[in-house]
Structure 1
Amino acid sequence: MTAPVRYAHPEAIVDTQWLADHLRDPALRVFDCTTYLHYETGTGRPYRVESGRRDYEQGHIPGSAFLDLQGELSDQASPFNFMMPAADDLAARFAARGVGAGTRVVLYARGNPQWATRVWWMLRAIGFDEAAILDGGFDTWRAEGRPVETGETRYPAATLVVRPRPGLFVGKEEVRAAIGDPGVCILNALAPDLHRGDNPRYGRPGRIPGSVNVPALSLVDAATRALGPPEAVAAAFAAAGAAPSQRILVYCGGGIAATLDAFLLHQLGYRDVAVYDASMSEWAKDETLPIERG
């Protein structure tokens, strides 16, 4: 009999009942990470970024604070949205928001868990391992009729020691060098139309040559926003040709959806996974980089 597939790091996924039972824990730090992308045409940019703060102010999980991913946790000097800051800089920003030694962090979002997994992956990259994703996020919390509040929460500042894991984010040079390498799987987390090259949202339509497609949203229940069951998620990656023995480089449009695939690969026991941070926002506009369609 084949052993059932299980997520390898269940401590990094909590459900709404667990969170409801632990909301009064003084060491708990809960953050709404919601961001919205408004896709536009004719503007020269793939989308407009909107912070989810307004929705947070109108109602959020009691005791949770808000993290503005683009405005607060991203490299403001970069020409691309959502880029990872230097590790020391990012750690200082998290510490100012109450993340540090002795704290347990739960991250959630509205509509799409990729915003929570992005923050989770960033925390992991600087060596903080006491973070978890709320399965189903705010959507499930509200659907279950659980309480919300409108007052803003600010946690006291903490001390966060940086223990960088430099291999968790990569740039275009490592991705380009990986093309055609059988020891590396380049994996696209974008929707199929973008992977095929039917949609020019990011500039030149198409994909990184040789990359395979596991759309991030295909790994999430469309109704509940809960993460897919381990068996189905594992089957999706296996069908695409992503093997646990390979280094997996995941990309998308701007390094967000890619973190949902990366988080679930990590949960399935893949040991060598990285996110191409600038992703197609950079690749599609750089004429020196190869691209393929079809």
Structure 2
Amino acid sequence: MPQRNGLITTAELAGILDHPDLRLFDCTTYLEYQPEGSGVPYIAVPGRHTFEAGHIPGADFLDLQGEFSQAGIELHFMMPATAQLEAAFGRHGLGANSRVVLYSIGTPQWATRFWWMLKSLGYDNAAVLDGGLDTWKAEGRALETGPAKGYPPATFIAKPRAGYFVDKHATLQASGDRDTVVVNALNPQLHKGLEPSRYGRPGHIPGSVNVSAATLINPETKAFLPLADAESKFAAQGVTKDKRVVAYCGGGISATIDLFQLYRLGYDNLALYDASMGEWAKDESLPIEAG
């Protein structure tokens, strides 16, 4: 089974914590779900409070919505202009020689989102911490409290790669392309339209298959499933290496768990529908199906 890495264990991280080129980031965001009918699915709250309560020694904190997403639009977490990202990553000390490790709390999806963004910017020296802070704490490893000390500013020069992010038009076209499989990372009930959607119309993009991001994670440890198990879940839905994959979810976050596992399995032709159901479910011009 061809594999790529992208994953680092807690033991491996502990062994490089004092490395001068290490840039370690807590990427956690919390979603405060709003009442049905409010018109707002959730409010994004940066995880700075839990970071200050306890983080891996030396880590810095990244605010996805506040610093690394488009501002002034209804949709959360949309990929912003390259110049904004170059400035933000540079402020946090990420340079050409940095070795980046990303982690989050409760779910790796915030770390994999940053990993995917960095990949799209041509930056390959980033890894996701397996199990995140949950595993680090469960193993009784050292924690630090208080605000981030940060890293010395650096110059981050992006080399953007085409095709990592796609819009609704490209996704609609992909849904009818026999050489592409569109993958929904939301839970099966939402995929089937069997429970109300916070995003708008219930259901999924026609023709899309369901590989829930939550099923690619061990619910107890928050670690990634072994690659053989992940591969069998994708294969069961007709996701094969000869096809392009376009992944989506609610807001372009949990789908990056699917993309991360597919990348590690050796898939090359991967894309994220960034706006996901936050856009699709509200756009009456776009088809949707349930069941």
The answer to whether TM tops 0.5 is yes
SS, match of residue 90 in structure 2: helix
Task: Name the residue aligned to 2:121.
Answer: 126
Match of 2:156 among 154, 160, 165: 160
In 2, distance between residues paired with 1:241 and 1:50? 36
SS, match of residue 163 in structure 2: helix
Could you list the per-position Cα deviations for residues 67-122 of structure 1 after superposition, in whole angstroms to 9, with x for gaps in the alignment? 01111110113321000011222122111111111110000000000000000000
1:214–1:237 Cα contact (<8 Å) kept: yes
In 2, distance between residues paired with 1:77 and 1:268? 37
Task: Name the residue aligned to 2:40.
Answer: 45
Could you list the per-position Cα deviations for residues 145-173 of structure 1 after superposition, in whole angstroms to 9, with x for gaps in the alignment? 00101132211111112111121010001
User: Unaligned stretches of 5+ in structure 2?
Assistant: none
Task: Name the residue aligned to 1:105.
Answer: 100
Match of 2:71 among 62, 67, 76: 76
- Please report the TM-score for the alignment, with normalisation by the length of structure 1: 0.96
In 2, distance between residues paired with 1:200 and 1:123? 30
Cα displacement (A) at 1:39: 2.1
SS, match of residue 284 in structure 2: coil
User: Unaligned stretches of 5+ in structure 1?
Assistant: none
1:196–1:207 Cα contact (<8 Å) kept: yes
Alignment of 1:276-287 (within 5 A): 276-287=273-284
Task: Name the residue aligned to 2:13.
Answer: 19
In 1, distance between residues paired with 2:175 and 2:104? 34
2:68–2:84 Cα contact (<8 Å) kept: no
What code does the residue aligned with 1:208 have? Answer: I
Task: Name the residue aligned to 1:260.
Answer: 257
Aligned CA RMSD, in angstroms, stands at 1.0
Match of 2:26 among 32, 39, 51: 32
- Please report the TM-score for the alignment, with normalisation by the length of structure 2: 0.97
2:29–2:64 Cα contact (<8 Å) kept: yes
Cα displacement (A) at 1:38: 2.2
Could you list the per-position Cα deviations for residues 120-157 of structure 1 after superposition, in whole angstroms to 9, with x for gaps in the alignment? 00011111111000000000000000010113221111
Alignment of 1:130-141 (within 5 A): 130-141=125-136
In 2, distance between residues paired with 1:183 and 1:103? 37
SS, match of residue 15 in structure 2: helix
Could you list the per-position Cα deviations for residues 180-217 of structure 1 after superposition, in whole angstroms to 9, with x for gaps in the alignment? 21111000000111100122221000100000000001
Match of 2:206 among 206, 209, 226: 209
1:91–1:126 Cα contact (<8 Å) kept: no
SS, match of residue 22 in structure 1: coil
SS, match of residue 191 in structure 2: helix
Match of 1:227 among 218, 224, 228: 224
Q: Does 1:271 align with 2:271?
A: no
Task: Name the residue aligned to 1:248.
Answer: 245
SS, match of residue 166 in structure 1: coil
Cα displacement (A) at 1:242: 0.8
Match of 2:188 among 181, 192, 195: 192
Cα displacement (A) at 1:42: 2.9
What code does the residue aligned with 2:139 have? Answer: E
Q: Which moved more, 1:95-104 or 1:276-285?
A: 95-104
Q: How many residues align?
A: 288
In 1, distance between residues paired with 2:199 and 2:256? 18
Match of 1:60 among 55, 61, 68: 55
SS, match of residue 167 in structure 1: coil
What code does the residue aligned with 1:39 have? Answer: Y
Q: Which moved more, 1:197-206 or 1:140-149?
A: 197-206
SS, match of residue 89 in structure 2: helix
In 2, distance between residues paired with 1:150 and 1:42? 39
What code does the residue aligned with 2:273 have? Answer: Y
Match of 1:289 among 279, 282, 286: 286
